[in-house]
Amino acid sequence: MEHNIVGISFSHAKNSMNTRGLKLMGFDDVYDMSDFNMPICNKNSADGRVAQGVNKFIDKLVDADILVFA
């Protein structure tokens, strides 16, 4: 049985060591936070609007069989 293994780096830097390390491990997909164009995580607004990047990020989490965080 094959699994979809996804690496997620919480770095916003395109050349981060975490992201590069995940890519070297050969996972099916590797993403960093800049791939989702999300606002910085300390943004708290009560307007109920969710940035499109957040939904894209959630979709990647849900679609993965195995998640590896860095």
Instruction: Encode pLDDT of 16-65 as tens digits.
Output: 999 999 999 999 999 998 898 876 665 566 667 777 888 899 999 999 99
**pLDDT at residue 24, rounded to an integer:** 95
CA dihedral 40, 66, 2, 30 (to 10 degrees): 30
Residue 1 has pLDDT above 70, yes or no: yes
**pLDDT at residue 46, rounded to an integer:** 65
User: Residue with structure tokens 């989490």?
Assistant: 61
**pLDDT at residue 62, rounded to an integer:** 95
**pLDDT at residue 66, rounded to an integer:** 93
Q: Considering only CA atoms, which of 19, 8, 17 is closest in space to residue 58?
A: 8
